[in-house]
Amino acid sequence: MNIKKNLLLLILGLIIMGCSEKDGPKVLKVEKIEISKSTLELVEGSSYQLEAKVFPEIPDINMIWKSSDESIVSVMNNGIITALGIGEAEILASVGDIVSKCTIKVVKKHIPVKSVSIEKSLTLKVDEEYDLNIKILPENASNKSYKLSFSDEDVIFTDGEFSIMAVKAGKCVITVTTADGNKSANCDVTVVSKDDEFSCIDKAGRKYQTIQIGNQVWMAENLAYIDSELLNNGAYVYNYSGDDIKEAMSTENYKKFGVLYSYSSIESCIPKGWHIPSDEEWQELETYIGLSDKEISSYGSRGSKSYALMSKEDWQDLSFEATNETKFSAKPAGLRSSSGYFNQIFLRTVFWGGISEDGSIIGRALFNSSTKINRSKANRKSAYSVRLIKD
């Protein structure tokens, strides 16, 4: 009897177990996670979508995303990562204790070089050293390295990144070329002999006549440097209104009288070792030719010695004889008014001077009708001739 009872209980238990396995939910356990990338390189600031799959497949699984270093790369709960800083970090995808990872390397964003510039021209003396002003844009370019090349290595020598030395008299073109983008710019260098103590050579390599007057060394002709950027934009050739630099320089007015400059344009044209004469330096010159202390300190037309500074040529209708005994050789270059009109060529010349205590510029003017020298405040917007004096 007991045997039958136990047998019935056993059969009933098996039936119950069979029904439970057939009708109850089957629990799946994640065995593995695979991320779409095991390693990845990103540029700083960029984003990327990582995908992750679990095995066996389980719908609506709760995946946890995490970064080992949030300062390098961040991750959202949908797997989108963003590169934030240079370096390396791991992105972890996990379900429970099952974890998979992707190693992220964040590199600096490449910013290409757009341009390079260098001095357009230089004049150096033999054995003179000079540091080139090389500018690469944009300033945050990724690779700002460059190389220098020389058209004549016997004229210019370099033993550094931007430092050069003038070796012998001659001309040389220096070319700077960027490693990134192969951008280039040229500098025309003129090297002059050290023996020419009073030489004045502008950035285009033009050599000017100079003269020592007393203890001063002056240019004996008007400054004539001009380039395409300055032409009719602060620097003018009398009666020329075109935009062709060669055409402007071929005119008789340019050849005889040089260039008329607004005050703001002069600085970029001054050769090394020279400067715009101050009012005191003009007064020293005037004292040398015979003006009194009272005369040199006065404004307006004063003295009676302008003929000592004036060229014997090109002046029209002179009311006196120009002797040019100083060899200063002032020529009647005329002027360009602040309103943009050229006038008084062959009759008058005006030279820029230094800045006074009140900020005014004190100029000098010579006329065909008077032996007086005019000392007055000059109009910054007008364009006058320039005579430089040696430092």
Same topology, domains 32-107 and 110-196? Answer is: yes
**What local confidence, expressed as pLDDT, does residue 12 receive?**
56
**What local confidence, expressed as pLDDT, does residue 122 receive?**
84
Residue type, 194: K
**Torsion sign, CA atoms 289, 295, 296, 299:** negative
**What local confidence, expressed as pLDDT, does residue 15 receive?**
53
Spatial CA neighbour of 258 closest among 288, 234, 226, 284:
226
Beta strands 163-166; 207-208: pairing state: unpaired
**What local confidence, expressed as pLDDT, does residue 1 receive?**
52
**What local confidence, expressed as pLDDT, does residue 13 receive?**
56
What residue spans define the domains of the chain? 32-107, 110-196, 202-391
Cβ(314)–Cβ(334) under 8 Å? no
Residue type, 117: S
Spatial CA neighbour of 73 closest among 54, 39, 46:
46
- What is the DSSP track for 252-295? HHHHHH--EE-HHHHGGGPPTTEEPPPHHHHHHHHHHHT--HHH
Cβ(81)–Cβ(51) under 8 Å? no
pTM for this prediction: 0.55
Choosing among 3.40.50.720, 2.60.40.1080, 3.30.43.10, 2.40.10.10, the CATH entry for 110-196 is 2.60.40.1080
Residue 121 bridge partners (DSSP): 188
- The pLDDT averaged over each successive group of 10 residues in the chain (391 residues) is 56 53 66 95 94 91 94 95 95 94 94 93 85 94 93 87 88 94 92 72 90 91 96 97 96 97 94 93 95 95 96 95 95 97 97 88 96 95 96 89
**What local confidence, expressed as pLDDT, does residue 9 receive?**
56
Question: Per CATH, the architecture of 32-107 is what?
Answer: Sandwich (2.60)
Phi and psi for 277 in degrees, rounded to 5? -65, 140
